[in-house]
Structure 1
Amino acid sequence: MFDVVIVGGSFAGLSAALQLARASRSVLIMDDGHPRNRMSPAAHGVPGWDGVPPAEILIRFRADLAGYPTVSFLNDRTDDISGAVDAFEVTTQSGECIRARRIILTHGVRDILPDLPGVGDAWGLTVLHCPYCHGYEVKGRPLAVLATGPMAAHQAHMLRADWSEDVTVLVNGVDGLDQQALSAARIRVDARTFLRLESGDGIRVTFQDGPAADFAAIFIAPKVDLAGSPAVRLGVGMSDGPMGPYVRTGPMQQTDIPGVFAAGDLATPMWNVNFAVGDGARAGAGCHQSLLFPDFIPALEKEAA
């Protein structure tokens, strides 16, 4: 039996593992090698790693953990988690059954991109989600926001304030945008119907009528999905965020199931490498404390907001 099984081996999971490794606890990190930001050529705003490809950062993280003999890796997906504190069972996609005293969920979320030709190919390259992560590299150039909901206006106002004076909202059939406020902020609104997006040096949008439009990048706030994830199958409590559900956690990243912790993109409505690393460290420390003092880190109350 492992002290802890960590489901997800990206930034949050590896950060949690490091805290437990330094306490010489037995840890198994399960991961299938598909981190959410694998398409991005660089991670920005990460102290000491600004501009470094996420894959390179993860290689360094794993190299750090390789020096701790109590840490193991398993390249597999989690099919199910059952049991209770001190007696969890994790079933893998390949059929292996693994026992653990504690669980840390760090498997991330699934992005639901608009069903438009070219969006998937450009995702992480010229179709972006975060001005803090990617805005500096395209500042001062024409930018667009592809509306997927009310967050489009929020993103557009941010970009117009500090990244570019040339911002367009591509309405994409979304209702409820305050077009008067957008116009007052000198943000253009384009309600034409899409045909396709084409990446090159920037990204071109072709419409059913009128001329194409060229932008340095298009920002979107993608909806996210946890359907069928280990967190859902385990039954942890969820909250509704602006882009979709996320796992509700307490001060030490504990969920409302005793012995289960969560960190990273699945446990916050704000996604950032720095947040994932910090929350992962907190989850690792909280999980360790719960092994030593079972009543010291209580599970979050089911009714907590």
Structure 2
Amino acid sequence: MAYDAVIVGGSFAGLSAALPLARARRRVAVVDGGVRRNRFADHSYNFFGQDGAAPSEMVATAKQQLLRYSTVLWLDDVVEAAEREGDAFALRTSGGHWLRAQRLVLASGVVDHLPAVPGLRERWGRSVFHCPYCHGYELDGGRIGVLATGPMSVHQALLLPEWGSVTFFLNGAASPDEAQRQELAARGVRIEPTPVRALAGEATVVLDDGREVELAGLFTASRTEPASPLARQLGCAFEDGPLGPFVKTDAQKATTVAGVFACGDMARGAGSVALAVGDGAMAGTAAHRSLVFPA
């Protein structure tokens, strides 16, 4: 099947990208594998008009609204391969579908690589978080932990006192210098050098020496990488961010490959629902304009 645009990924960024194309009466296919990055969170915060809403309900409503447009096709599938074919792109899905598109919007998100601490993965998105703006307020000013994953964690530990009393668990992953230690002390951050053995209870940090530190919540900076290989297959340039590589785009969310746009977490150094939706809207409108005014 031939489409004006194929959107790879049907979460916040992808849905937002598809909408302006659909409203321009363009033929659009959205291919989604159903694995949202924030699928573990019961609530999403810090998004205008949807503060505290359930992410699953937000996405379901947006999908329902998008599918009211007759030119939109939705495929519950995964795009495995993409290549340029003349002036368009050919895509193959794991379900055996072949799609052809004049424009391609990549919105497949990222994979989080979490610290190898027993019990952490099971609490990800529930009592272990990465973004204080999204989840800090609900901890009600209680005791908060920051689990180091690298030098960037010092910045995270300095930021978190806005939301509670902070303990910075170095866990062999961070070594603040004297100036940073003074900054942390000035912010009231307690440094804990003993390695972390596991997480227990709601958010209790169990240290190697047997001590337990009960927390309202724990923050950590996961390493990320794009969840799909398509950008690399197509030859898109990447940038190195503080948390991992991401697809390089311009202000219009165009990649370095003509006709390919990227949006959401896979195309920025760090993201959120609000930023993903904004990115998607920009990518979708830019993709449409490129169809009307080809370079």
TM-score interval (norm. to shorter): over 0.9
State how far apart, in whole Å, the 2-side matches of 1:194 and 1:274 are. 33
5+ residue gaps in structure 2?
Answer: none
Aligned residues: 291
In the alignment, structure 1 residue 41 sits paired with structure 2 residue 49: no
Q: Greater CA deviation, 7-16 or 226-235? A: 226-235
Aligned twin of 1:100:
101
Aligned twin of 1:250:
250
Aligned twin of 1:13:
14
The 5 A counterparts of 1:112-123 are 112-123=113-124
State how far apart, in whole Å, the 2-side matches of 1:238 and 1:32 are. 23
Deviation at 1:228, TM superposition (A): 5.7
State how far apart, in whole Å, the 2-side matches of 1:227 and 1:71 are. 24
Q: After superposition, what is the alpha-carbon deviation per residue over 1:273-300, rounded to whole angstroms, capped at 9, x for unaligned?
A: 11111110010000000001111xxxxx
Aligned twin of 1:186:
188
Q: After superposition, what is the alpha-carbon deviation per residue over 1:97-154, rounded to whole angstroms, capped at 9, x for unaligned?
A: 2111110000001000001100110000000000100000013100010000122111
State how far apart, in whole Å, the 1-side matches of 2:235 and 2:245 are. 13
**Maintained 8 Å contact 2:32/2:76:** yes
Aligned CA-pair RMSD: 1.3
2:157 partner SS: helix
Fraction of identical pairs, as percent:
43
With over 3 angstroms needed to count, the CA separation of the structure-2 counterparts of 1:150 and 1:289, relative to structure 1, is same
Q: Greater CA deviation, 174-183 or 140-149? A: 174-183
2:134 partner SS: helix
2:282 partner SS: helix
State how far apart, in whole Å, the 2-side matches of 1:227 and 1:13 are. 14
**Maintained 8 Å contact 1:85/1:259:** no
State TM-score, norm by structure 2.
0.95
State how far apart, in whole Å, the 2-side matches of 1:57 and 1:112 are. 25
With over 3 angstroms needed to count, the CA separation of the structure-2 counterparts of 1:60 and 1:141, relative to structure 1, is same
Q: After superposition, what is the alpha-carbon deviation per residue over 1:194-230, rounded to whole angstroms, capped at 9, x for unaligned?
A: 2210143xx1111121420010000011100237622
**Maintained 8 Å contact 2:243/2:270:** no
State how far apart, in whole Å, the 2-side matches of 1:85 and 1:279 are. 28
State how far apart, in whole Å, the 1-side matches of 2:18 and 2:248 are. 21
1:280 partner SS: helix
With over 3 angstroms needed to count, the CA separation of the structure-2 counterparts of 1:156 and 1:175, relative to structure 1, is closer
State how far apart, in whole Å, the 2-side matches of 1:232 and 1:169 are. 36
State how far apart, in whole Å, the 2-side matches of 1:226 and 1:7 are. 12
Q: Greater CA deviation, 204-213 or 133-142? A: 204-213
Deviation at 1:84, TM superposition (A): 4.9
The 5 A counterparts of 1:135-174 are 135-160=136-161, 162-164=162-164, 166-174=165-173
Deviation at 1:185, TM superposition (A): 2.3
Q: After superposition, what is the alpha-carbon deviation per residue over 1:142-193, rounded to whole angstroms, capped at 9, x for unaligned?
A: 0010000122111111111x211x1000101013323332223221011112
1:183 partner SS: helix
Deviation at 1:39, TM superposition (A): 0.2
**Maintained 8 Å contact 2:145/2:169:** yes
